[in-house]
Amino acid sequence: MLRLYNTQIRDKQDFLPLEEGKVRMYVCGPTVYNYFHLGNARPFITYDTLRRYLEFSGYQVTYVQNFTDIDDKMINRARAEKTSIGELAERFIREYFIDADALNIRRASIHPRATETIPTIIAIIETLVDKGFAYEAEDGVYFDVSRMPDYGKLSRHNLDELASGGRELAGDEAGKRSPLDFALWKKKKEDEPAWPSPWGEGRPGWHIECSAMIKQHLGDTIDIHGGGQDLVFPHHENEIAQSESANGKPFVRYWLHNGFINVDQEKMSKSTGNFFTVRDLAGQFPYLVLRFFMLGSHYRMPINFSTELLQAAENGWNRIRTCLENLAFVAQNATGQADVASAEAAQQLSEAIRRAEADFVRAMDDDLNTADALAAIFELVRAANTAAAVPGLPAASLENASAALLKLLDVLGLDPQGLDERDAVPPDVLALVEARAKAKQARNFKLADELRAQIQARGFVVADTPQGPKVSRQ
Ligand SMILES: [Zn+2]
């Protein structure tokens, strides 16, 4: 039974979707004005992994992740770059997919954009105004927080405490009645993009976008809403206020929030300037090492970022890949002469597979504990390496272990074969390896040595094993 930590109740709960066998899930996506950094990548990777695990557990998942393609950051960046907001959005949506695809983040069922959702946004605001939850002011339409007594229920703030917190009236939202009220619609300022509405030309506020995209693509009540911890207040609180006031129904059943990535004990963020973009890091480490690194911690725990830790992650990831390569190699060259020792090793390996699968599921069921799930995978790696060293182990045993590892890795979005082409052995190197083997067979050791040197010059090493030559990147 999958249990998830629900921010709403501050505890783990059995996961029971609204409709049996189906999951409706929404995750706040990026504002597409720049490359995303490692901290931004955490929710994308976390909730992609949750989606994969839900599917692995037999659910049919409808997964929506939006693009915020209109807001202050978009407007300012487009101005600075002397481009249009539309072109800026197109460019960084493209860049988003380059990084996300390489991180093996599967595409969502739907990736709606705020600017494509304007009619639904306007319809919800109209409902809120009609029901008395929102009011029009000189510079926009605002949600009247005082009309919602349980405002703050997700973040556990109460209205009195918030009101006495002395939050200043934002200079550009002068028309609102209370500092806690928030903009649903912003009336057009000079040189800003705008859409027609019952309140004149303008653009949506940020929070209403998510409420509208959820309603349009998933309905009034969804099973899972995910995002970073920093979105609990005010963003998710405001989504609840808008959606529940407009629809009169519960909005989200399970609220999930991931922790931050810290650099020198401070949250990685664009505003403070201490961040590493995924694109830059991918120049130093394979993308999947970044994903592996992220999944090495429980998603609610903070991660302290350092290059040393990424290096350690790369070593761990390579241990898994080496094991798989070794299993394939030994299986290919298995002699098939089983004896008592190899029969026993085969038996132990199949028990190790069963144990690893059970441990993996137990860890993932416990609020998506990917750190423990990886530990289960490493137990299997150890058992497989031990078994593979026993002469005469049947090829089927090795292939079972390899299939089990690949299946579990796939749930975590870690694909050792697909994406790491930079490590693949090119055909010309394979030809050299073959030529060298022939030279050795013909006892032409001088030629064999020359060919070895050529292989090394191409960045590969060749090792002679009882099963034949084995080539790998230096
Ligand atoms: Zn959102």
pLDDT of residue 472: 78
pLDDT of residue 169: 47
Centre of ligand 1 from the C-alpha of residue 193, in Å: 21
pLDDT of residue 272: 80
Centre of ligand 1 from the C-alpha of residue 211, in Å: 7
Of 154, 182, 150, whose CA–CA distance to 167 is shortest? Answer: 182
Centre of ligand 1 from the C-alpha of residue 43, in Å: 12
How many CB atoms within 10 Å of residue 406?
A: 14
SS3 63: strand
Centre of ligand 1 from the C-alpha of residue 69, in Å: 13
**H-run or E-run covering 325:** helix 307-332
CA 32 to centroid of chain Cα atoms? 17
pLDDT of residue 422: 47
Of 237, 242, 245, whose CA–CA distance to 162 is shortest? Answer: 237
Centre of ligand 1 from the C-alpha of residue 307, in Å: 31
The fold of 303-419 is: Four Helix Bundle (Hemerythrin (Met), subunit A) (1.20.120)
Distances in Å between the alpha carbon of 278 and those of 38, 96, 315?
5, 10, 19
* b/e sequence 164-202, b meaning 16+ C-beta within 10 Å: eeeeeeeeebebbeebbbbbbbbbbeeeebebebebeeb
Comparing 3-258 with 303-419, is the CATH topology the same? no
Residue pair 170/152 in contact (Cβ under 8 Å)? The answer is no
Centre of ligand 1 from the C-alpha of residue 256, in Å: 12
pLDDT of residue 167: 55
- Phi first, then psi: what are they for 32, rounded to 5°? -95, 70
| Rounded Cα gap, residues 229 and 46, in angstroms | 13
**Residue-wise pLDDT tens digits, 200-226:** 999 999 999 999 999 999 999 999 999
Centre of ligand 1 from the C-alpha of residue 207, in Å: 6
pLDDT of residue 149: 87
Q: Domain residue spans in the chain?
A: 3-258, 303-419, 425-473
The residues that bridge with 187 in the sheet, in sequence order, are 202
CATH class of 3-258: alpha beta
**Residue-wise pLDDT tens digits, 127-163:** 999 999 999 999 999 999 999 989 999 999 887 777 7
pLDDT of residue 157: 87
Centre of ligand 1 from the C-alpha of residue 29, in Å: 7
Mean pLDDT, each 10-residue run in order, the chain (474 residues): 97 98 98 95 98 98 97 94 95 95 96 97 98 96 94 89 62 80 95 95 97 98 97 97 98 98 85 88 92 98 94 96 93 82 95 98 98 98 96 93 97 81 68 90 92 87 80 75
Centre of ligand 1 from the C-alpha of residue 245, in Å: 17
Centre of ligand 1 from the C-alpha of residue 411, in Å: 26
| Rounded Cα gap, residues 358 and 51, in angstroms | 19
Centre of ligand 1 from the C-alpha of residue 113, in Å: 12
pLDDT of residue 106: 96
| Rounded Cα gap, residues 95 and 113, in angstroms | 15
Angle of helix 395-411 relative to helix 38-56, nearest 10 degrees? Answer: 120
| Rounded Cα gap, residues 472 and 94, in angstroms | 34
| Rounded Cα gap, residues 19 and 14, in angstroms | 15
Centre of ligand 1 from the C-alpha of residue 437, in Å: 59
| Rounded Cα gap, residues 167 and 162, in angstroms | 8
Residue pair 392/341 in contact (Cβ under 8 Å)? The answer is yes
pLDDT of residue 425: 72
Q: Which two tokens stand for residue 313?
A: 């992650």
Centre of ligand 1 from the C-alpha of residue 389, in Å: 52
SS3 242: helix
Centre of ligand 1 from the C-alpha of residue 27, in Å: 7
**DSSP per-residue letters across 20-59:** TTEEEEEE---BSSS--BHHHHHHHHHHHHHHHHHHHTT-
